[in-house]
Structure 1
């Protein structure tokens, strides 16, 4: 006997076997006795309610009592008749999931395990039913004993009724609009297996839309990465003239049309190296198109008399001059512009790149450090000198790329002040290791620190930087997983859950690798450490990390994901999964510059056997 599925919209969740599909509107006139199970899939849309007539509810009651299996999802259950049949009384109209997760109960499978989904949910309470899944705000990554500070609501319930079984889902499962969001896949399989065993009806399995490719060839990984840029929609025009979008959003999986200078710089660097590897000039022109879109878009203040002269806006800020001036965003723009000037000789890159480094130098503290963010209005009111006494960030996330940008300026101009500032700042960090501050993890900050440490170690006669390099390397690679990845460790603020700029794990040992802040930059930085020091140990670490990143590159039939990398990867489950506590750049974010372009750059530098400082 088959399964009759009555649905208000397309089925996009787990694949149901042996099904016949009908519109939900056909249910009232349909004879049900010939079906082993009846599935009712309500609309996942918040502005659409899916309800049943009293007569239909009575018919379904008899169908279940006589041995049928009824599964209902997002069917309105405010009334007594519907709620007593489904075993679930709805309190309020449905809403959209935000930070909530599903938790498996003792009856539902691997107890305490946390799951994610996409779409609608509704609040209610059970009536003579067994709760298999519950939803609430669970801060943990993999398992939770209870929710934190908020009520837990039933999400998946089952009740025996006569000879049959009624199952109700208070969230979008088969009607989910984003099937890629069912994570972790293995736990979902266990839950659906429990349902199948409970009802005697196959509930199918959620087929992962996103899979690690398993490849190990860096050349193929680079080509797939470029395909992601061309096919995902992240690049509005192939010649770069319309810039690059920032990311595929972690929660909505939508292309975010924000344009940021740092993402443009990263992507321009990748495009240039890609063209160099292929011997195709068109990619250098596409890199130029990306940068030109920033120049023409007024992202950089090029008014010589302005106190913010040289600095870039953080994003497409609606005023003429920059407001929030972050160190890392501006330093990356300078780093890439000056590198590309040395490679291409384009004079505009020199002028604009040095304008940034000169502005940074003028706002640098005497100890070689700087505030992580300056305010444009303050600089224009009080002058650049007002930035000098500001508190230092003490964070390698910001400081390291500033020092690397000064190295590029030194390589271009030969002016000792740039090298001296980089050396001074790096020594200050090394000598004050107890003051270092970190944003997401200690591992991410140390991975960033590696870039200037390795280059500057040979420019410090005191040996301080060399000793810092040894200590950072030792600590960083003590966190290396058997897969080659650096596992996230030492979260500076686990309680930051639910805000921007949070980690995708909470505590050490969760087995999460971060491709937005750690392994992405570390690939290039480990390569540069090998090129700067000649120590083959760095080359080995580079190769191990390269293999890991190639293996986890996404293979998917969905162009938004295929060929790219998401932020969080679960090293133990071997799938993309992580803590969802970062509301801005969460575990499934796909950042165009910081992740895709930087991993692609790290791969290409190895294939070309080149250094960005040569």
Structure 2
């Protein structure tokens, strides 16, 4: 059909979707007055996410007179169906019985689209439907109770109106999934408009896809309604699937053509392919802006991108400073520096680790001691996030790997004290600070482990790895002993396990601690369990090497879709892999397991999963967000990133710097380096008295806290202006406040705390506290008084108050008091009218029962006064003071 037979009204961007579907058209910016020359009319939503305002009289006349039109997401004066415009939050589009060419109940994900909730006119046929439906490719529980139309076929006079309540043409810019189904949908709509047959739904690919290692076989696969004509002999392997015989191709790039479609595969050495994957993954951190404004990592690294794809097709940037992402990324860059000889990787690693060990470890002397705040720098107790045991385990492990021995061992000791004493496994692994504070370490150790959490490697594996690594570098036998207790319990119950995300993820996560346990003990139980895991992973391995998700935490009904954390597949058999919780950790562990055991099956599995990760790495130079990275869910049958979008936290399209990208790079570099992961048998480490003394010192810190022993703090300003507390010999950076002066502090005995004051870079006074039980508070500015010098403070036992004095910018001394109610400072008030050169010296005079001040005025005269009740006596010179 000629282009002149279809009029398309809309801007070039949305028109691209119909052009890609094969529709030939003449494009207009506005609806022509005369449409009689056209066999069909297409009106697109050019203002999406706002509906198009349409003067539809010419269109109504055209359709009633026998024309066929497709219109989407528009409002007019009554010809088009109307309804309230709303966001489709968790609803997805699915097909009804009436749409020919796509199976009924097929899902089309449209990512938080906007739509009109219309009522279908009488006589209309509903082709597509909005509804909250569980499933990956199919709505497995059928249509939900509440739905509304997404695409209607409406008879109007002698013509037809296809009306879409949302912008179906937005599927390219909005990255709707699965791409192939959306493209087919528009092909079917286009064919329906002009009364033609849709082109054959032909799919051509190689297996494996994209790349294959030198010397390994590859075959051509065609899926379609009938056997195609090709130069290669194809055999129907299953209905609609035609395959060539596997063949070994020479190194290089090979292209196959079938009909009007082509597919290309590259053949080359495995090590070169992995190195290419690593280079591109490292480059992604800079290209996607993960290091904020400081490419050396000195300002930290972002968590990545959230799952929700916006109207512009972009993923929301997620700037959360997670300690686990910091440490995993640091190790990846450290390994990259070793691989390439580039010093930048070491700089990035050092900067990221400095953030974590200096600012995220909790060192207040209470039962949170040694744990890591996993969502940014430490702050006061009320703002501390859940202390996730898995995050704490990874952070502790990588702190040890990076050489931060004291910090890493504090993390290990904290995990040990929050483990069940009998089993050596974490209790309540997503624990809240208040739970720890109330229970204390002893009660935590006696607490039972609920809901089978003792058997989930999702929560337990990182802590076990940290214990084993600590044993390897210190020779401390108790670290190995607690790891053995946990591994023995979990391995002896295998394959029974609590499934946090899926059985496949649990299998991949269990390998690394088992490998460490076997490395140090050679227990047959650990090897048997690893071989069982290998057999399971082989049974779930797809043709390209990835491990399909199985036995997941999937919605049991349509009503349960999108309301909780969930797996990224719906049912066993969905060809989906998990690049957040599963694939990277299996890829990381398998080369290590092979090196330790020598069992060929582990090398075979390692090659398969690393090959797979290299194939599914996003390769789109025009996409700064995603080029070189991995999203969470990959469908290896549809060969695109797609999965069930039921998870409210981390759906199929999210990207994590840690957990996903960094562990994948670590896995590939672990393979290329070939170095042992766990430190050598600790006979040599045991003789290193330095490590032994650090273990003893760190344990003494915990013992002192358990006994409730006080430790006098001191505070100072470091070069960058941050305030540092040193207590019990352990430093802690106090928040982000930048100061220009040295802090002053006083013991506030009535509330068992220290009150700390400092002049900030803004020349205002800032205050925080150190409570004996709940720890450090957050900085708060005290009023708007502008300071000219550092504060001085003294505790006034006569008034149960901390007295605070500063030199204001007006050169007068100003005063406020902190009473014994937390944060209750009185307003600033000047102490007399004299002007001074600096802040006063202050002390409490026990004989007089009052606070005394000494200061030098601008005339060079020493002046003294004292506080009586809440008032200050007039300033006196020295001679008057001593004769009073």
TM-score, with length taken from structure 1: 0.88
SS of alignment partner, residue 584 of structure 2: helix
Separation in 2, partners of 1:267, 1:13: 39
Match of 1:344 in 2: none
- Give the Å deviation of 1:39: 2.9
Q: Determine if the alignment matches structure 1 residue 327 to structure 2 residue 389.
A: yes
- Bigger mean CA deviation after superposition, 271-280 or 120-129: 120-129
1:575 to 640, 650, 659: 640
- Kindly indicate which of the two structures has a greater share of residues assigned to strand: 2
C-alpha contact 1:513 1:570 (8 A) present in aligned 2: yes
Name which of 524, 528, 544 aligns with 1:463. Answer: 524
CA distance in 2, matches of 1:227, 1:402: 30
Partner of residue 724, structure 2: none
The aligned counterpart of 2:232 is none
CA distance in 2, matches of 1:272, 1:6: 54
Deviation at 1:21, TM superposition (A): 4.8
Contact 2:131 / 2:144 at 8 angstroms: preserved in 1? no
RMSD, matched Cα = 2.8
Residues in 2 aligned to 1:301 and 1:353: alpha-carbon distance in whole angstroms: 12
The answer on whether the counterparts of 2:554 and 2:569 sit within 8 Å (CA) in structure 1 is no
Q: Distance in 1 between matches of 2:377 and 2:98?
A: 51
- Is the partner of 1:445 in helix, strand or coil? helix
- Structure 1 position 213, deviation (Å): 8.5
Residues 337 and 408 of structure 1: CA distance in aligned 2, closer, same or farther (over 3 Å): same
Q: Residue by residue, what CA displacement relative to the aligned partner does 1:344-372 show, whole Å, maximum 9, x if unpaired?
A: xxxxx222111101111222222111121
Q: How far has the Cα of 1:96 moved from its partner?
A: 3.5
In the alignment, which of 374, 377, 383 is matched to residue 440 of structure 2? 383
The size of the alignment, in residue pairs, is 586
> Which string of whole-angstrom CA distances, capped at 9 and with x for unpartnered residues, describes residues 310-368 of structure 1?
21112137843434111110110111111121xxxxxxx22211110111122222211
Matches within 5 A, 1:415-454: 415-433=476-494, 436-454=497-515
The 5 Å alignment of 1:292-303 reads 292-295=354-357, 298-303=359-364
Q: Distance in 1 between matches of 2:618 and 2:275?
A: 15
Q: Does 1:135 align with 2:113?
A: no
In the TM superposition, what whole-angstrom CA distance separates every residue of 1:546-601 from its partner, at most 9, and x where no partner exists? 11111111112211111111111112222211111111101111111111111111
Deviation, 1:145, is 6.1
Cα distance in 1 for residues equivalent to 2:498 and 2:567: 14
Aligned in 2, Cα 1:257/1:422: closer, same or farther, shift over 3 Å?
same
CA-CA distance at 1:67 after TM superposition: 5.1
Matched, 1:150 2:145: yes
**In structure 1, how many angstroms separate the alpha carbons of the residues matched to 2:307 and 2:34?**
43
The secondary structure found in structure 2 opposite 1:419 is: helix
Matches within 5 A, 1:58-97: 58-66=57-65, 68-76=67-75, 81-83=78-80, 89-97=81-89
Segments of structure 1 that go 5 or more residues without pairing to the other structure are 84-88, 207-211, 342-348
Shift of residue 272, structure 1, vs aligned partner: 0.9
Q: Which residue of 1 aligns with 2:322?
A: 260
Partner of 1:225: 281
Partner of 1:358: 413
Alpha-carbon distance, 1:486 to partner: 1.0
The structural deviation recorded for 1:204 is 11
Cα gap change, 1:108/1:319 in structure 2, threshold over 3 Å: closer, same or farther? Answer: farther
Residue aligning to 1:536: 600
CA deviations 1:218-240 (Å, max 9, x no partner) are: 11111111122111123313111
Decide whether the 8 Å contact of 2:9 with 2:43 is kept in 1.
yes
- Provide closer, same or farther for how the CA distance between residues 533 and 117 of structure 1 changes in structure 2, counting only shifts above 3 A: same
Partner of 1:115: 108
Q: Structure 2 CA distance, aligned partners of 1:288 and 1:410?
A: 23
Corresponding residue for residue 486 of structure 1: 547
Measured in 1, the distance between the counterparts of 2:136 and 2:159 equals 36
Q: Which residue of 2 aligns with 1:249?
A: 306
Q: What per-residue deviation string (whole Å, max 9, x for no partner) do you get for residues 226-259 of structure 1?
A: 1221111233131112212212222222111122
Structure 1 residues 191 and 148: alpha-carbon distance in aligned structure 2, compared to 1, 3 A threshold = closer
Partner SS for 1:102: strand
> Equivalent residue for 1:405?
466
Partner of 1:277: 339
Provide closer, same or farther for how the CA distance between residues 261 and 148 of structure 1 changes in structure 2, counting only shifts above 3 A.
farther
1:369 to 407, 425, 446: 425
Counterpart CA distance in 1 for 2:210 and 2:526 is: 38
Contact residue 526 and residue 541 of structure 1 kept, 8 A: yes
Distance in 2, matches of 1:531 and 1:125, equals: 63
- 1:403-427, CA deviations, whole angstroms, 9 ceiling, x for partnerless residues? 1011111122111111111111100
Q: 1:101 to 1:164 in 2, by over 3 A?
A: closer
Indicate how the Cα distance of structure 1 residues 74 and 527 shifts in structure 2: closer, same or farther if over 3 A, else same.
same
1:524 to 588, 593, 614: 588
Rounded Cα–Cα distance in structure 1 between residues aligned with 2:338 and 2:96: 51
Does 2:8 correspond to 1:11? no
Q: Give the Cα separation in 2 of the matches to 1:511 and 1:224.
A: 26
How far residue 146 of structure 1 moved from its aligned partner, in angstroms, is 5.7
1:485 CA displacement: 1.1
Aligned equivalent of 2:402, options 319, 326, 340: 340
Task: Write out per-residue CA displacement over residues 129-161 of structure 1, whole angstroms, 9 at most, x where no aligned residue.
Answer: 222211211102112366454322211122344
1:75-133 CA-partner distances (Å, limit 9, x unpaired): 026x6x323xxxxx333223244342333533243222111123212211222322221
User: 1:181 is paired with a residue of what secondary structure?
Assistant: coil
Q: Structure 1: how far apart are the matches of 2:389 and 2:443? A: 16
**Greater helix fraction, Structure 1 or Structure 2:** 1
Q: Is the 8 A contact 2:90 2:562 kept in 1?
A: no
Partner of 2:97: 105
Q: Distance in 2 between matches of 1:537 and 1:213?
A: 22
In 2, distance between residues paired with 1:400 and 1:488?
19
Structure 1 pair 43–200 and aligned structure 2 pair: CA distance change class (3 A): closer
Matched, 1:309 2:309: no
Structure 2 stretches lacking a partner, 5+ long: 202-207, 213-272, 310-314, 680-884
Contact 1:246–1:591 (8 Å) recurs in 2: yes
Pairwise CA distance, 1:471? 2.4
The 1:12–1:588 alpha-carbon spacing in structure 2 relative to 1, beyond 3 Å, is farther
2:572 aligns with: 508
Structure having the higher Rg = 2
- SS state at 2:531 partner: helix
Change (3 A) 1:511 1:183: same
- Would you say the 8 A contact 2:209–2:544 is kept in 1? no
| 2: CA distance, partners of 1:587 / 1:455 | 31
The CA distance in 2 between the partners of 1:71 and 1:317, in whole Å, is: 54
Q: Which has the higher contact order (CA 8 A, sep 6+)?
A: 1
Q: TM-score, normalised by structure 2?
A: 0.62
